[in-house]
Structure 1
Amino acid sequence: MNSLTSAGAGPLHGKHALVTGGGRGIGSAIALALLLQGARVTLAGRTAAVLEQTAHELASALAGATAPAVDYVTVDVTSRDSVDQAMAEAARRHGRIDILVNNAGQAASAPFARTGSDIWRQMMAVNLDGSYHCIQAALPGMLAAGWGRIVNVASTAGLTGYAYVSAYCAAKHGVIGLTRALALELATKGITVNAVCPGYTETDIVKDAVANIMAKTGRSEEQARAELAAGNPQKQLVQPEQVADAVAWLCQPGASAMTGQSLAVAGGEIM
């Protein structure tokens, strides 16, 4: 972990946010949105070099402004021991974690008949178990403070079914169930729990999906991207910044009446 800038002001001033999967894509966009709201942000992920580069890029983007601290810590969200160590280090540097964004995720595509137990367990371990581990580690501090925001970045796959990603869909449906159950448990504790459910978003996961479509069908990149965007009534891929804006709003004090919700950021695909 490495401190890069000094604390600043904003609606989330004084709050410490930890974003898993914070090194790229949606995670780095969420980190920037929270920094702009005044939060101190810890990026969490598996690869120190990626996290360090992103942290420096975020600090550079905020140069000249009164910017909060942005740090990074390595973590394997599938391991409770790794999560506990990372959370403890983050809290030691910047105080308790007030805002937890569970963004780390993976997607694997295969027909169900060829979805082996290795794929099934990996999808559960990263997408569902990871959220469980991180919430368990961060929740005691939130309960002690009487304030907290937990945002689980799920997927429209947590709200509907998609063919050939049964394990991913099952894991993301589990995240939605966890979100709703925990929101009820914490409703009187000053802690909100919500999910944000992006549709196909301009990320590495979508780049892999485009490459897979091209390889299997012979379609061009433009055709493959259009196929993924076809289910979006706006006929476009979601941008990471659009997801980040929804997350940042849910973290603000003014969103205190929003809990147990699963917000689809998908151009109207899910209603």
Structure 2
Amino acid sequence: MTDTPTAVITGAGRGIGRAVALLLSRNGYRVVLTARNVDELTATADECPGAAHIVPGDLTEATTVDRLFDEAADVFSPPSVLVLNAGAASSAPLPAITDEDWAHQLDLNLTAPFRCLRRAVPAMRKAGHGRVVAIASMASKQGEPYIAAYTAAKHGLLGLVRAAAAELANTGVTVNAVCPGYVDTPMTDRSVANIADRTGMSLEKARGILAAKQPIGRLIDVEEVADAVMLCVGTGAITGQGINVDGGTVQS
């Protein structure tokens, strides 16, 4: 048996998830990585300096969540850290949001994190220690046009974090959210492309519009989000929080 702790990171194939996985690995965690894209997961695992195990799958399928936690326990140990990063955004005016679009946003951004949290909590409570960090969004705290489904799901995710933190406060398990603004990731690249397609402006100008939404005048780096995750992992005195990493967009 080893005392080396285990961390599960969802959406670990690229962007924020990859940055978090690498940082946790550098800090001595064995990491279990999940996402849909096997090649991206393999690339992340190969970059990790420590032990890494991949579990490809779609987290909107309940069986994937069970397989993820079963394999984590079998290969390493039940996770003491869970980073809920998997998610995706969609953009459409309210009348154009279909039932399918709405359901997908809730399934991926809210129900899948809930299922992962539900699986992780019993072992963490038994151990008397655990850290759960959800990658939420500034959309968890304020509304913007054309992202109603995403905003509703991310508001729900922050509510889940707060309720879970209150329930687990005296168990040694903390639950927090990190709420980034616009981050330099493939998801933001898709948002930039959507803006360019709708407006006819150049990709460069569309990217500049998103960067300008933040007072620091630039997109957030994935490493800056990962640093905030590690802050939550490193202390038991922070719980129930939605930590803004948004360049000063929302002051709270």
TM-score > 0.5, shorter chain as reference = yes
How far apart, in 1, do the equivalents of 2:107 and 2:120 lie? 18
Q: Please, which runs of 5 or more residues in structure 1 have no aligned partner?
A: 1-6, 8-12, 63-67
Which residue, 4, 19, 22 being the options, matches 2:12?
22
Give the match's secondary structure for 1:74: coil
State the Cα deviation string for residues 58-82 of structure 1 (Å, max 9, x = none): 13xx4xxxxx312211232112222
How far apart, in 1, do the equivalents of 2:36 and 2:193 lie? 24
The alignment's C-alpha RMSD in Å is: 1.2
Matched, 1:35 2:59: no
Which residue, 206, 216, 219 being the options, matches 1:224?
206
Q: Which residue of 2 aligns with 1:239?
A: 221
Deviation for aligned residue 1:54: 1.9
Matched, 1:265 2:245: yes
How far apart, in 1, do the equivalents of 2:55 and 2:202 lie? 39
Q: Which residue of 2 aligns with 1:4?
A: none
Q: Which residue of 1 aligns with 2:65?
A: 83
How far apart, in 2, do the equivalents of 1:206 and 1:47 lie? 18
How far apart, in 2, do the equivalents of 1:137 and 1:78 lie? 14
Please tell me the residue identity of whatever aligns with 2:156.
G
Q: Report which stretch shifted further, 177-186 or 36-45.
A: 36-45
Q: How many residues align?
A: 250
Which residue, 103, 123, 127 being the options, matches 2:85?
103
Give the match's secondary structure for 2:55: strand
- 1:114-263 aligned at under 5 Å gives the runs 114-252=96-234, 255-263=235-243
Deviation for aligned residue 1:33: 1.1
Which residue, 35, 39, 43 being the options, matches 1:49?
39
How far apart, in 1, do the equivalents of 2:196 and 2:149 lie? 23
How far apart, in 2, do the equivalents of 1:91 and 1:29 lie? 23
State the Cα deviation string for residues 100-158 of structure 1 (Å, max 9, x = none): 00000011100011111100000000000010010111111101101000000000000
How far apart, in 2, do the equivalents of 1:216 and 1:110 lie? 10
How far apart, in 1, do the equivalents of 2:133 and 2:57 lie? 18
Deviation for aligned residue 1:256: 0.6
State the Cα deviation string for residues 165-197 of structure 1 (Å, max 9, x = none): 000000000000000000000000000000001
How far apart, in 1, do the equivalents of 2:68 and 2:10 lie? 11
Deviation for aligned residue 1:28: 0.2
- Per the normalisation by structure 2, the TM-score is 0.96
Deviation for aligned residue 1:49: 2.3
State the Cα deviation string for residues 234-269 of structure 1 (Å, max 9, x = none): 0000011100010012111xx111000000100000
8 Å Cα contact 1:78-1:133 kept in structure 2: no
How far apart, in 2, do the equivalents of 1:49 and 1:240 lie? 20
8 Å Cα contact 2:136-2:178 kept in structure 1: yes
Q: Which residue of 2 aligns with 1:3?
A: none
Deviation for aligned residue 1:47: 2.1
